[in-house]
Every structure is written in structure tokens, then in C-alpha cells.
């Protein structure tokens, strides 16, 4: 495994990759064993795309991902990637999409909590009933930051702040 620490407005992110795909994106914490690998193509692309995202120049990611989880978790994570940039949906919406059962909302929350690649697999776009901000593995302040960043970029791109 190779890794790289990526500075961001929400704190350092640690990207971990195998030979051909991104496996994890962690919120800070200790560095993995070994030396960072800034020349690794997957990690270099991850750092570049994250920089562009936080600068408001990228609304989606084009990275090879290696997501390890249960069949249900992988279905939830795939559904998260379908939530458009700058939009949100509820845990119930995701549950209906992957299990045709709004009762699976708690299981969706658990899958979100197990998401190994937050930000890129956008679990921050999932909100509680009545659009209430609940739960985020990186902490609610990070979730609020990401949602506000995406909303601000959407408004700017829509011309509301054009000179």
C-alpha cells in the first residue's frame, strides 16, 4: 500500500492506494507505515482532484476506486455517487433506492459510517429526515463545510455572483 497526506480546508486527508486504485481516504490521524508516495499516479491524481474540488473547480471525481465492504454497503456507496453535486438526499431516499425499503435507513447510516473514501464517495450529501444534518464520520463541522462549499460553487456557476 502507498499513501499520501493531502492538505485541505477540512484538515489533512490521508489517501491510501494499492497498485491501481484508491482504497481509503481518511480524515487526518497518524500516517501509515512507510514513506509517502507523491509520484504514485493514483495518489497524484487524487491529490490534484481534491485540490480542484476544494478550489471549486471540480464537481465530480474520476478516480479508480477499490471499495471493500458488504454487498449492501457497496450498493449504498454506488448510490451515493449518483447524488448530484450540490444536492442532498435523505437516508430514506438512499434506502428506497438500494433496498426498496425506507426502513433500511439505519443500515444506510451504518454503510455511510463505513465508507472508506469519504468526500469522493459523497456520504456528506446524505441528510436526515426533514433535511436535518445528522451524523458524519468526519464530524458535522466537516459535513457542513462540504455542503456549503458545493452550494456556493453551484450558485457561482449559475451566474448569481457573475460580475
In a domain, 60, yes or no: no
Judged by phi (left if over 0) then psi (alpha if -120 to 50, else beta), residue 44 lies in: alpha
What pLDDT was estimated at residue 130? 82
Same domain, 80 and 127: yes
Residue 80: name the closest of 50, 72, 8 by CA: 72
pLDDT, one tens digit per residue, over 14-37 is 999 998 999 999 999 888 888 899
pLDDT, one tens digit per residue, over 91-140 is 999 999 999 877 799 999 999 999 999 999 999 999 998 888 888 889 99
Residue 15's DSSP bridge partners are 4, 25
Residue 162 has pLDDT above 50, yes or no: no
What pLDDT was estimated at residue 124? 97
Q: How many domains does the chain have?
A: 2
What pLDDT was estimated at residue 145? 97
Using 50, 70 and 90 to split pLDDT, how confident is the model at 62?
Answer: very high
Please give the model's pTM, rounded to 2 decimal places: 0.91
In a domain, 65, yes or no: no
Expressed as residue numbers, the domain containing 148 is: 71-157
CA quadruple 9, 7, 14, 94: dihedral positive or negative?
positive
Mean per-residue pLDDT of the chain: 92
Same domain, 23 and 85: no
In a domain, 64, yes or no: no
At how many degrees (to 10) do helices 105-113 and 91-99 cross? 100
Q: Any idea which residues carry the catalytic annotation?
A: 123
| CATH number, domain containing residue 142 | 1.10.10.10
Amino acid at each position: 500500500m502507498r499513501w499520501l497526506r493531502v492538505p485541505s480546508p477540512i484538515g489533512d486527508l490521508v489517501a491510501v492506494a494499492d497498485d491501481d486504485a484508491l482504497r481509503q481516504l481518511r480524515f487526518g490521524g497518524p500516517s501509515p507505515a512507510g514513506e509517502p508516495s507523491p509520484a504514485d499516479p493514483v495518489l497524484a491524481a487524487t491529490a490534484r482532484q481534491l485540490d480542484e474540488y476544494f478550489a471549486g473547480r471540480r464537481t465530480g471525481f474520476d478516480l479508480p476506486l477499490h471499495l471493500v465492504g458488504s454487498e449492501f454497503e457497496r450498493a449504498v456507496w454506488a448510490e451515493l455517487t449518483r447524488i448530484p453535486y450540490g444536492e442532498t438526499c435523505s437516508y430514506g431516499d438512499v434506502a428506497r433506492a438500494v433496498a426498496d425499503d425506507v426502513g433500511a435507513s439505519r443500515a444506510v447510516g451504518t454503510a455511510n459510517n463505513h465508507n472508506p473514501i469519504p468526500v469522493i464517495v459523497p456520504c456528506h450529501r446524505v441528510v436526515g429526515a426533514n433535511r436535518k444534518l445528522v451524523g458524519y464520520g468526519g464530524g458535522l463541522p466537516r459535513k457542513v463545510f462540504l455542503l456549503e462549499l458545493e452550494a456556493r460553487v453551484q450558485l457561482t456557476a449559475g451566474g448569481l455572483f457573475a460580475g
